[in-house]
Structure 1
């Protein structure tokens, strides 16, 4: 059996020799060859926005102004007619996920039905029907919605889920899965109370559905996917991670989001032995890590991680953890330690001897340490980096209040007409007690900016906009690259099993 496996592997490898070279060099599709240049580009954009704010003399107390110094928000919120130009958002990305197009150039799809009755044959007008389509779509909502999923919501490439103008909550089975896809933007959505689902057929495209095993219950699960941008979301109360990215995913930005009420917040990397994750590159910017969080903000394995201008107001064990020699670049964050004397350290090298992690490149620059918090740097240029961080006035961290003032779903502190309570959980917004009953209230008619309607006609769900400008479908080279990774993984597993059987 094993010789046949070798023959098949060699045939496939020789067919895709250019891709094999890339794989063996542990590169991934869309992995940036110079991550430091991406960091510098983000800092340039940040400095421009902050300088504009200072030049115009915007008050720190003026939280309604679009000029917060946050380069993402200042890019689109300063346009008073953003509702008629929603797709401008796709031009506002920063960091490693800045190239995520989402549904830019495609049609608008208006979600008018909050139900999720059939994961194989979704009803037109539902979110599930929208996200499985093959063409680029900019998905918006006709009104406030609580969408209780029965199974994982498997999203296809080139989709934007845009919750602006409506109060949208996604809860239930599996929540959002991004698997073997690219170019997705998720913006302004509440995601919470996500639980495992599976042992069922779920549709992933108009022409394909397949059997799903039991999911972990992540809020957003990113699996072997690229060019992903998650912005202005509020995440809490999920069974496993709030956001997990694994299996060679890269080109990801997580920004302006609010995380609360969770243990293992964010996992970036499959396992310490999965070497393709060495190409993982993730930007974590302008987020607020809030109440009742324990650890993994994030927990990294292989790859490069830029953690910039986030506000850490609570953790119980540690804020940032890692193993398998990740590169961690921490800049301009505010770390507020808990009162527990044993949990003051921001960083944690997970199950790794100090002799190993002293060579890891973990940098701190301009970070603000509050209430006894301390960051333990490491790496080759430790002395230079530490001296630079110690002598540098934490000016960038001084703008944390304005940069993160709108973290989470926009307008979340205003009229919230949806309330959710589940047995065994506190309320969706952090209130309530144990053992509550399921209650759902949906009121108001907040327009999503592109009309609404309850008709079952297909024309009510789609509105054409610059259809000819839609981006091309994902390159087949991406698919082949992921295929090679999978083949190598399966083959090595088969060899290991064969070796065990021969013992």
Structure 2
């Protein structure tokens, strides 16, 4: 047994060393000086990438679809009972709603939105994530930190009470906001391990210089904030943790940049108008769920995997669920290199070039989405394999099940059904073990995508 552990440790060390050697020339990612601090963070991040990889992704997609079906069944059962109560006694009975719009059929929302005491039980949210990011807990293990100051005047020595001060602390924190505010960032906001940014109960808008950077860290939740008009910034000396700062080069203008990070959950975020991508996940980022978000007014929405040479992205696994891809979007919802993406129960109401694309043989499982094609006849195809001839991509595993196609939309499949499960324990006669909720139900599943107007003392 000791020999077996030794061999595994040797393999992991060799893999990490190889990965470091491969990516070292191109890994800078706005880090102008790659000092001992950043080298150590990168090494630890690569180890976490290997540890977070799910060798049998079928377990994760089944887990997601099971909970989606369970939430749908229980909600419909309650609604059915209420319909029956309306005619009891020979007359109509008015049924008072339990506040808000919490009666979503969405399995993630159903986990917490019915609790009128959500503001006192904020950390319950961390128990609700599904998909590949299901182990993300954010700042659950730490205290509440209340942001009271919307300024971002000093990126080197941020003032206590600001968001920048909160996210650079070297301990778990659950970050909330004392009031509604607009935070105009001066430079990219670099987030450390074990943080939750929770905008419920107020209206928080993040705008201006650069966006959120989740780089070589783990365990981050971003919830219920607006992000808009994110711009490039020239860089400079920026604090990246409580006890370290460094020189950064020009930022890309991404809304949220996930770089070499693991266990990340982005939920109920409204995004529009970023200079580059809205959400990028690159360089070994994995164990990610992006859910309940609303995207509008942008060209390139999501990029998963930045370069063909970044083979570490073969370990990338991401769930994209319950999102609404809305008006004035062009492409990349998402665009994928390597890795595996479970695209499930999203509402695609607009695209100009394509909805889902990729190259370098990614696995894309599309389940129960609604796709409404644009009116132009040459834009009906949902999928796009970029820079790759048919003889190569015909074996890629791009599968569609229970998707709902409108206005001539069509998904070009490839590969073999169930081939995306690396080691299926029991061969199955149908495509997938647990079937997803059908695309015909997506409008209800995504009706509250984007930020929520939650009020303390009422269900959300």
**TM above 0.5, one fold?**
yes
Cα root mean square deviation, aligned: 2.7
Pairwise CA distance, 1:217: 0.1
Q: Residue 223 of structure 1 is aligned with which of 259, 262, 265?
A: 259
CA distance in 2, matches of 1:210, 1:169: 27
**What's the counterpart of residue 368 of structure 1?**
404
Pairwise CA distance, 1:332: 0.2
Does the CA-based 8 Å contact 1:272-1:324 persist in structure 2?
yes
**What's the counterpart of residue 485 of structure 1?**
none
**What's the counterpart of residue 251 of structure 1?**
287
**What's the counterpart of residue 17 of structure 1?**
10
Does the CA-based 8 Å contact 1:199-1:214 persist in structure 2?
yes
Secondary structure of the residue aligned to 1:222 is strand
**What's the counterpart of residue 73 of structure 1?**
109
CA distance in 2, matches of 1:394, 1:78: 24
Does residue 38 in structure 1 map to residue 60 in structure 2? Answer: yes
Pairwise CA distance, 1:236: 0.6
**What's the counterpart of residue 22 of structure 2?**
none
Does residue 350 in structure 1 map to residue 343 in structure 2? Answer: no
Pairwise CA distance, 1:174: 1.2
Alignment of 1:474-493 (within 5 A): none
Alignment of 1:294-305 (within 5 A): 294-305=330-341
Q: Residue 150 of structure 1 is aligned with which of 162, 186, 202?
A: 186
Does the CA-based 8 Å contact 1:166-1:448 persist in structure 2?
no
CA distance in 2, matches of 1:292, 1:378: 29
Secondary structure of the residue aligned to 1:84 is coil
Going from structure 1 to structure 2, the CA distance change for 1:81 and 1:448 (only over 3 Å counts) comes to: closer
Pairwise CA distance, 1:175: 1.0
Q: Residue 272 of structure 2 is aligned with which of 232, 236, 239?
A: 236
CA distance in 2, matches of 1:48, 1:90: 19
Does the CA-based 8 Å contact 2:187-2:235 persist in structure 1?
no
Q: Give per-residue Cα distances to partners, 1:440-476, cap 9 Å, x unaligned.
A: xxxxxx8899xxxxxxxxxxxxxxxxxxxxxxxxxxx
Pairwise CA distance, 1:395: 5.7
Q: Residue 47 of structure 1 is aligned with which of 52, 69, 80?
A: 69
CA distance in 1, matches of 2:226, 2:270: 5
CA distance in 1, matches of 2:456, 2:113: 17
**What's the counterpart of residue 410 of structure 1?**
452
CA distance in 1, matches of 2:123, 2:321: 21
Alignment of 1:272-421 (within 5 A): 272-381=308-417, 396-411=438-453
**What's the counterpart of residue 132 of structure 1?**
168
CA distance in 1, matches of 2:100, 2:333: 28
User: Which consecutive residues of structure 2, in runs of 5 or more, have no partner in the other structure?
Assistant: 1-6, 20-45, 84-96, 420-428
Secondary structure of the residue aligned to 2:220 is strand
Q: Residue 126 of structure 2 is aligned with which of 73, 81, 90?
A: 90
Going from structure 1 to structure 2, the CA distance change for 1:121 and 1:176 (only over 3 Å counts) comes to: same
**What's the counterpart of residue 438 of structure 1?**
none
**What's the counterpart of residue 136 of structure 2?**
100
Secondary structure of the residue aligned to 1:82 is coil
CA distance in 2, matches of 1:185, 1:395: 25
**Aligned residue pairs, count:** 398
Does the CA-based 8 Å contact 1:90-1:104 persist in structure 2?
yes
Secondary structure of the residue aligned to 1:69 is coil
Secondary structure of the residue aligned to 2:287 is strand
Q: Give per-residue Cα distances to partners, 1:353-412, cap 9 Å, x unaligned.
A: 1111001000000000000000000003499xxx968xx999621221211011000139
**What's the counterpart of residue 212 of structure 2?**
176
Does the CA-based 8 Å contact 1:49-1:67 persist in structure 2?
no
Pairwise CA distance, 1:173: 1.1
Q: TM-score, normalised by structure 2?
A: 0.82
Pairwise CA distance, 1:18: 4.1
Secondary structure of the residue aligned to 2:119 is helix
Secondary structure of the residue aligned to 2:111 is helix
Pairwise CA distance, 1:29: 3.2
Secondary structure of the residue aligned to 1:48 is helix
Q: Give per-residue Cα distances to partners, 1:150-190, cap 9 Å, x unaligned.
A: 00000000000000001000011111000000000000000
Does the CA-based 8 Å contact 1:319-1:347 persist in structure 2?
yes
User: Which consecutive residues of structure 1, in runs of 5 or more, have no partner in the other structure?
Assistant: 1-13, 413-445, 450-503
Secondary structure of the residue aligned to 2:281 is strand
